[in-house]
Amino acid sequence: MIRNEVVKVISLTGASSPFNLVKAIPGARGYTADQSIAVVGSRTSGWYYVLDAFSHGSDSGHAEELLDETCSKKV
């Protein structure tokens, strides 16, 4: 099973810490070893996207798979 989540935040500390955001996802607590987190800056200064890929069992998922590795500019 693979599940992807995206949250847009203006801070990466306190309740908006990527680790705290992942812990707040229903069903994620107790499965932190199965989480992969990436943080990406947005086009708006001071905003960030927190990407979480959850994989469990034989399926593997990594947050890096959600990124555009070619760095192509898409509008």
pLDDT tens column, 6-56: 889 999 999 999 989 888 887 777 777 778 888 989 989 999 999 887 776
Q: How confident is the model at residue 73 (pLDDT cuts 50, 70, 90)?
A: low
In angstroms, what CA-CA distances link 6 with 21, 49, 67?
A: 10, 7, 12
Quick check: 24 and 14 in contact, CB under 8 A?
Answer: no
What are the residues whose beta carbons fall under 8 Å from the beta carbon of 18, sequence distance 6 or more?
12, 37, 39, 50, 52
Task: Say what the pTM is.
Answer: 0.71
Quick one: tokens of 57?
């069992």
8 Å CB contact between 37 and 60: no
